[in-house]
A = this chain, B = another copy of it.
């Protein structure tokens, strides 16, 4: 039996006390333990920001790459060794600003990875500037007169991009978040989990309490059916007095890694190189 201890890392944590990232870290470890995943079979690909420091603070294979480029790296890893459990992790800046193009295409391709976006609605590590997820009118040093643009809606974007698993979690509800991460990992295909995360240093509006007063679990609602895309799209627009969390949309379609003939029999990395097989390769040039 695995325990949380198996996922302990000695790397000292560099987050601010009170940061929502601590809860997310906890939920992630919980999910791994509950799924019985070995640290060695997990890879987390993270970007640059506060959120991407996460994998250093637990024990699992880690590729802490570039700002905004988690998904291509994760795709390369998954296609090369699909036996691995591959996650990608980053902030809203990382995923929705710098990495926006990879986001929409990874969802379309439905590669079997789980993507966690810690959305604190600002660029945290660079000291709190406005991100594409910041509220309309949000004041920061890069929008001193308030952001003139409404925030993007990543849930709607995901649904429109044909994402096969779209969920929203909240760092303040570790148990529910653990559940979502487990579902996401178990889902065969691209699982997008946006996590509402407080930032005590730079986001004074969307605080832990602010969220607590608003979030509700949409999956508790009898009439709500996540396999109904139109319903999901409609509910994804909700943001105000009530903010739905839970699995918003879930559809079944083949994951990219199940469609690639080269790895139908075994992972690419296990196939080795067989120089003998190249003997006839020059034939077509004769």
Query: What is A's interface to B at a CB cutoff of 8 Å?
Result: 97, 99-101, 104-105, 108-110, 132, 145, 148-153, 156-157, 159-162, 230, 233-234, 253-254, 256, 259-261
Contact = CB atoms under 8 A, between A and B. Distances in A.
Copy number of this protein in the oligomer? 2
Contact of A108 (B104, B149, B161, B256): B149
Contacts of A100: 100-101, 104-105
A230 B100 CA distance: 24
A159 B161 CA distance: 11
A234 B230 CA distance: 7
A157 B104 CA distance: 9
The interface centre, meaning the residue of A145, A160, A230 with most chain B CB atoms within 10 A of its CB, is: A160
Given A161-B157, A234-B230, A256 B149 contact: yes
Given A100-B105, A104-B104, A132-B108, A153 B162 contact: yes
Contacts of A152: 104-105, 108, 161-162
Contacts of A99: 101
Contacts of A148: 109, 254, 256, 259-260
A69 to B, nearest CB: 12
Contacts of A105: 97, 100, 132, 152
Contacts of A132: 105, 108
Contacts of A97: 105
9 contacts: A100-B101, A100-B105, A104-B104, A108-B132, A108-B151, A109-B148, A149-B256, A156-B161, A157-B161
A156 B234 CA distance: 13
A98 to B, nearest CB: 8
A117 B252 CA distance: 30
Nearest to A237: B229
